Each structure stands twice: as structure tokens, then as C-alpha cells.
Structure 1
Amino acid sequence: MAHCLTLGDPSHLLPTNWKRVVSSWLDEDTPSFDYGGFVVGESEQVAILYGKAPGVLAGVPFFNEVFHQVDCRVEWKMKEGESFEPGPSGKKEVARVYGKARSLLLGERPALNMLARASGIATRARRLRQLKDKHGWQGVIAGTRKTTPGFRIVEKYAMLVGGVDTHRADLSSMIMLKDNHVWATGSITGAVKAARSTGGFALKIEVECQSEAEAEEAIDAGADIIMLDNFDGPGLVAAAQNLKKKYAGKRMFLIEGSGGLTEENVVPYLGEGVDVLSFGSLTQSVPHIDFSLKVQPKKA
């Protein structure tokens, strides 16, 4: 299967702070004494990483960095973004990790926790991407900011590995005006005007709308993206087409659908006029992919 993320080195995508994030995982897991590490000592060992459920591999740079920070070396048998099946044995060899026994065990749990979640997100993202392609829909599948505090960089990265859009990364990436912003400001028009006065030309403005009438107010006020929230599939497609027709040749904008979207219910939303569909379910309640790391017994 072709990889959806095509990078020479995936770690080049990451910000300057990502290695400190990895350090925080190790700090959390061993805040004081490493009792188990004392028991096993520093004999040189090899551990095999097994994938034990079907999925898409995601999180390679983070896995590498965990073990780099504890002085181990990782040798991969698969590439980032590659799909795998455990096979008849119930497990697929994904990588080998070389290092001292206590170091392998220091890195084991933080690395596996990250890899299980990242691969789970990438696996769901890949299925959504394939569903979009199967139906010939030309729009964008995107995530949301419904991410785990302290773990967003991994989750957004996993979306890219799976082949979908990350949506905005944080509150500084785009100005999204939701119902609370509008209620606090007094009107959609007032909220958009205030947003434009600070965001200037460089930031797009997105407005959450509950009806076509609200969407029209947002478009007239100068919004770049209209989020039609909690519409059903046929209703979203009809509203998107109505708005595109009404403003044809007058205004350029994108229509985004959001609210309760899943793999199971998305097909009716894949219609003409809809530009973006965003899924909180890409990161919320996503099944993890089971991995294990097994130190190999010494031969007699």
C-alpha cells in the first residue's frame, strides 16, 4: 500500500520542542528510583517489537527518540505509514531494539504507549482516507483540537501519517469563532469584525453556524470558512450547494461539516459543495493498536 505521508525524514516535520516532550514521558514514568532496572542490570540485550493487531505504523521518530534518550538503538523492519497484519502467529516483527537491559525497560512503556495510540489514530485516518477516495469525494478529511493534553504533537503527526489533514494545530493557527464567541460578542458580524482587526490578512477566519441564515451572515461579514455544525448528511450537502450557488462569483469561501461524524455515518456527507469534514472521532475513543516489546532470552 502506498504511504500517505511522503517525507525523506519524518522527524524534519516536528518542532524544536518535540524531544523535550519525549523527555517528559520518561520523567513521568521514572520520577525517582528505577527498582526494576537495578534488578536486571546492564547486560547487552535485544528486544523485538511485535505488532499484535492489524494497523498502520505511526510514531517512528518518537519511538526512536525514547530509546535514544536511554542509550539504545532501534532497527526497523517496516516503514512509517506502512500497514501490517499480525499473521498466523498473532504477531508481526516491526522492529528490534538493542541496548542494556535496564535501558530497554526504561524506554519500553513510554514508547509502547505512544506507538499504540499514534498507530491507532493513523489506522482510523487511513480508513477514512480510503473511504473518501472510494466514493470519489474531492474534499478534505480533517481532525480537530479534541486531543490529549500534552500529547497533541503525536496525535496531529499520526493524522498526517494516516493521510488526513490536521485542521488547525492550536488557537494561534486560525481564528475559529464558535457559538460561545458569538454569544460573548453579541453577533456573528461583530465577532468576525473583531477577529479581522487582530488577525489581519494572514489568518483565516472560520465561523460555526447552526443554520443557513447564520452562514449567510458570516459570509457577508467576510468569513473564509463556514462550519455547518450538527447538520445531517443530506442537510449539509443541500445547504452547502445553496450557499455556493447564492454567492457564486461574489465571494469565495469553504464549507466545513462537523459534529458527530464517524466512519459509520460519513458517507451521506460526502457530497458536492462540501469542502471539509472534521472528525473529533479521529482522536476521541480511537482504538489503540496492540504492540509488545520482548527481550530475547540468552542462548545457552
Structure 2
Amino acid sequence: MYDRFLVSKQIDQWLAEDIGGGDLTAQLMIDPRATATFAMNAREPMTLAGVEVAGLVFTRYEPACRIEIHAHDGATVERGALLMTVSGPAQALLTAERTALNVVQRLSGIATETAKYVRAIAGTKARLLDTRKTTPGLRMLEKHAASCGGALNHRLGLDSGVMLKDNHIAVCGSIMEAVKRARLRVPALTKIEVECDRLDQVEEALAAGADVIMLDNMSLETMRQAVALVDGRALLEASGGIRLDTIAAVAATGVDYISTSRPFQSAPAVDIGLDEA
């Protein structure tokens, strides 16, 4: 989910970055009265994200552009699938083309990579969570892409929940004291999560009344012991060092959630083209 008003403000920045003082090629070569129709196509299999945003890029630059979406965010499409048709003044379409493609290729790359992780834990109770390790300025859209791939969004920002990490705990003196301080001031419906990397910390977080306990960089055996220890009295999130080849084993330990930043940090942009229809 993303806010169209905020995205429109971002699109202005993206277009200004690419256009600069003007699209020299389009202004020199293309008759300003000319019109054109282009088709956006998938050049490889993918999970889509950002198609509607790409359409907003065109209409933001030239409101006379007409957009027809053929495949929506979250859809899984094959190579050759028609994603969008855009018609309007040829100069405007060619000027906005690269910005529109950049955003849909990047976001669809994240969604496609995320979907691989989701498929790897299918059949277990574990759900995939994203993280805050996003590209500065693109968090809202990158988290939208992760949800298109089947992940759940973790905190959108520091105001979305209480996460007590090792440095917070060190300043407060103990997990018990950190949770106590947070509980006194936290909004009534906001969860408190505590990061733990040892079983004794898990015991303390449980005794302190943490809503969620993060098992940080624990071995599989230690995670299994943590699951048995907690026994459903708090939600458990596994994090740290999660890879596509290890996530299934982590899910099999019985944790409720698994968080990873890898789809954000390692996903390649997918291949999407814009060709004359």
C-alpha cells in the first residue's frame, strides 16, 4: 500500500533528476504534434509491483497521456505478458519512458525476489517479514513491492512500533527495565518487541511481558529450544543471516515470523520493455 499524494511528490523529483533543463533528443527530433502508443511488456517471468506507479509517472509529466493497465501489482506474469498500454503526445511519452521503466523494474525485482522466499516457507506457519533496510526515499514503495511478493510489512518507520535492541537494553540496564519503561508510555495497542541472541535473554523478555521476541542470529537448535521455552506465550521472529537456501530450515523450527532484508538489498531489476504498439 502506498499514498498516491506522496508518490506524486516523489515523481516530480525523479522526473526533474532525469530531464534537467529539457529532453534535448525528444525536443529536437519529435514533432510536438505527434502522438504515439506504446506497450509495456514483461521480457522475463516476474511478480509485478509498481505498474500503477509507472502509469502515474506518465500522467504526472503529461496529463493528456492515457493509461490502460493490463496486469496489476501482485500478479505473476510470464515472459511476453502485456503489462500496460500508454498513449499520448509522443514527446512526453519518450521523455518519461526511462523514469517509468526504472521504477517498475526495480519494484518488480523486489517483488519477484520476495516471492521466492515466500514460496520457500510455504506449508509452514512462518510468515515472511520485510525490514527497514530500504533505499533512502523509496521505503514506502519498496515495502509495497515486498507485500506484492507475499511478505508482511514490519515497521514502516521508527514510529510504527517499539523495538528494544541490544543498545537500548544496555542503556536501560536490563531487558526487564527496558520493557518496563516502554510499557509505561507506549500507546495501548502498540506491540513491544525485544531482540535476544541468547536463551537466558528470551526467558527475561518473556518474564518482562514482551509481545514479540526476536531470535537474532541464533542457531537452528537454539531457535527450537526458544520455541519450546516460549510455548506460544509470545510471538517469535527469527532474524539475521536469513538466505534463500536456509529459510526453510528456519521456518521448520516453529517460529511465527522470519525477517530478512535480502529481497531489498540483493534483488536485481527485472527486464521490462516499452515498445511501439
Matches within 5 A, 1:239-250: 239-244=226-231
CA distance in 1, matches of 2:11, 2:186: 32
CA distance in 2, matches of 1:152, 1:14: 12
Partner of 1:113 in structure 2? 102
For the pair 1:206 / 2:197, whether they are aligned, the reply is: no
Counterpart of 1:290 (choices 263, 271, 276) is 271
Counterpart of 2:256 (choices 258, 275, 289) is 275
For the pair 1:23 / 2:12, whether they are aligned, the reply is: yes
Partner of 1:37 in structure 2? 26
Give ranges in structure 2 of 5+ residues lacking alignment.
none
For the pair 1:219 / 2:206, whether they are aligned, the reply is: yes
Conserved 8 A contact 1:25-1:110: yes
Letter in 1 for 2:18: D
Conserved 8 A contact 1:142-1:167: yes
Partner of 2:220 in structure 1? 233
CA deviations over 1:254-279 (Å, ceiling 9, x no partner): 11000011211111111354111001
- The alpha-carbon deviation at position 15 of structure 1 amounts to 6.1
- The alpha-carbon deviation at position 48 of structure 1 amounts to 1.9
CA distance in 2, matches of 1:38, 1:107: 13
Partner of 2:86 in structure 1? 97
For the pair 1:156 / 2:147, whether they are aligned, the reply is: no
Letter in 2 for 1:283: F
CA distance in 1, matches of 2:265, 2:221: 25
CA distance in 1, matches of 2:242, 2:71: 31
Normalising by structure 2, what TM-score?
A: 0.91
Partner of 2:125 in structure 1? 138
Conserved 8 A contact 2:238-2:258: yes
Partner of 1:192 in structure 2? 179
Secondary structure, aligned partner of 1:283: helix
Letter in 1 for 2:163: M
CA distance in 2, matches of 1:107, 1:194: 51
Give ranges in structure 1 of 5+ residues lacking alignment.
1-9
CA distance in 1, matches of 2:269, 2:77: 14
- RMSD, aligned CA: 1.9
Conserved 8 A contact 2:129-2:258: yes
- The alpha-carbon deviation at position 280 of structure 1 amounts to 0.9
CA distance in 1, matches of 2:108, 2:121: 20
Most deviating of 182-191 and 138-147: 182-191
- The alpha-carbon deviation at position 16 of structure 1 amounts to 4.2
Partner of 1:6 in structure 2? none
Percent identity, aligned pairs only? 36
For the pair 1:171 / 2:186, whether they are aligned, the reply is: no
Most deviating of 61-70 and 191-200: 191-200
CA deviations over 1:191-250 (Å, ceiling 9, x no partner): 222222331322111111110111111122221110010013333123222222xxx6xx
Q: Structure 1 residues 218 and 294, CA, compared in 2 at 3 Å: closer, same or farther?
A: same
For the pair 1:261 / 2:242, whether they are aligned, the reply is: yes
- The alpha-carbon deviation at position 17 of structure 1 amounts to 1.9
Letter in 2 for 1:146: K
Partner of 1:4 in structure 2? none
- The alpha-carbon deviation at position 283 of structure 1 amounts to 0.8
- What is the total number of aligned residue pairs between the two structures? 273
Secondary structure, aligned partner of 2:265: coil
Partner of 1:73 in structure 2? 66
Conserved 8 A contact 2:51-2:84: no
Conserved 8 A contact 2:127-2:152: yes
Q: Structure 1 residues 32 and 187, CA, compared in 2 at 3 Å: closer, same or farther?
A: farther
Letter in 2 for 1:138: K
Normalising by structure 1, what TM-score?
A: 0.85
- The alpha-carbon deviation at position 34 of structure 1 amounts to 2.4
Conserved 8 A contact 2:164-2:192: yes
